[in-house]
Amino acid sequence: MSDSVTLSNALTHRMNYLVARQGLISSNIANANTPGYAAQDISFEKLTANSHGRVPAGEIITDTSSMNLNGNSVQLDTEMVKLNDVQLQYRLNTQLYTKYAAMQRLALGRQ
Amino acid sequence: MDLLQSMSVSAGGMAVQSARMKMVAENIANADSVISESGEAYRRKQIEFEAVLNKETGLTEVKVKDIVEDRTTPLKAVYQPSHPAANAQGMVMYPNVDTMVESIDMREAGRMYEANMQAIESAKTMMARSLDLLK
């Protein structure tokens, strides 16, 4: 395998990130009434040619910008929007993967 | 970390919200209980949540830390000399339950339950999409 980023590598990386983000959003929603809980998110790390597809999913970001009276910083509406976003991105990813697989089948001369 | 673990976090969220709903029901049902096990009027119960980090998955789960009695809000004194529970001054101590507060709490618990349900739904859709890749 060459050092370049392959499409399947990139898609796998993105999907790992999306699953990790979905988990954090679920945690945020579950803890929306827990005093002192700070909302968490994850950053997306760029996949480069020399990272060999072993990039950690990203860095955890703790959001303490808008604290409630009980020290909780979860904004339920923001979390719901993020949840929808993750779902759409995941859908995009799986569809891209399906197309990619179809192209490979085509290259192999099958339909 | 995978989607099943995120689903179990949401399920935990639903469990604590139903515990909260149960507590609200207890409070409303006992809004007029002038005698409780302690011999005094019933005191409204409050639920405390706790965030627990699951080190294996890196996800923060939620747990019920404790259910405590509200000893800050005073009991309501009502003048009812003929009441069997009245004291020497003819006052009866009623529980410190405010049904308005309880119904707001109940609504919020319901909404949060729904939000957790949505999170499960989204994880489910994502799993179904991953399975579709095998087609």
A78: confidence class by pLDDT, cuts 50, 70, 90: very high
Is the confidence at residue A22, as pLDDT, over 80? yes
pLDDT of residue B66: 92
pLDDT tens, position by position, A83-107: 999 999 999 999 999 999 999 899 9
Nearest to residue A57, comparing CAs of A69, A72, A40, A43?
A43
Assign A9 to helix, strand or coil. helix
Instruction: Say whether the ipTM exceeds 0.85.
Output: yes
Those of residues 41-100 in B touching chain A at CB distance below 8 A are 48-51, 57-62
pLDDT band for position B99 (cuts 50, 70, 90): very high
Residues of chain A with pLDDT > 90: what percent?
52
Residue range B101-114: mean pLDDT, rounded: 95
Q: What is the pLDDT of residues B51-95, one digit of tens each?
A: 999 988 889 999 999 999 999 999 999 999 999 988 899 999 999
Phi-psi group of A58: left, alpha or beta (phi > 0 → left; psi -120 to 50 → alpha; rest → beta): left
Interchain CB distance below 8 Å, B49 and A34 = yes
Q: What is the pTM of this model?
A: 0.87
Q: Is A25's Cβ below 8 Å from some Cβ in B?
A: yes
| Alpha carbon of B132: minimum distance to chain A alpha carbons (Å) | 8
pLDDT confidence of B96, banded at 50, 70, 90?
Answer: very high
| pLDDT recorded at residue A3 | 63
Say what the pLDDT of residue A111 is.
Answer: 63
Cα–Cα distance measured from residue B64 to residue B62, given in angstroms and rounded to the nearest whole number: 7
Best probe of the B interface among A12, A27, A82, A91, by most B CBs < 10 A, is A27
Give the model's confidence band at B133: pLDDT under 50 very low, under 70 low, under 90 confident, else very high: confident
Given this model, what pLDDT does residue A69 score?
A: 84
Note whether A72 contacts B: Cβ–Cβ < 8 A.
no
Nearest Cα residue in chain A from B6: A23
Mean pLDDT, residues B11-29 taken together: 96
The closest alpha carbon to B4, from B135, B131, B132, belongs to B131
SS (H, E, C) A11-62: HHHHHHHHHHHHHHHHHHHHCCCCCCCCEEEECCCCCCHHHCCCCCCCCEEE
Residue A2 has pLDDT above 60, yes or no: no
Q: Which residues of B touch A102 (CB under 8 A)?
A: none
Mean pLDDT of B123-134: 92
Tokens describing residue B10 = 């949401």
Q: Using 50, 70 and 90 to split pLDDT, how confident is the model at B39?
A: confident
Comparing alpha-carbon positions, the chain B residue that sits nearest to A85 is: B122
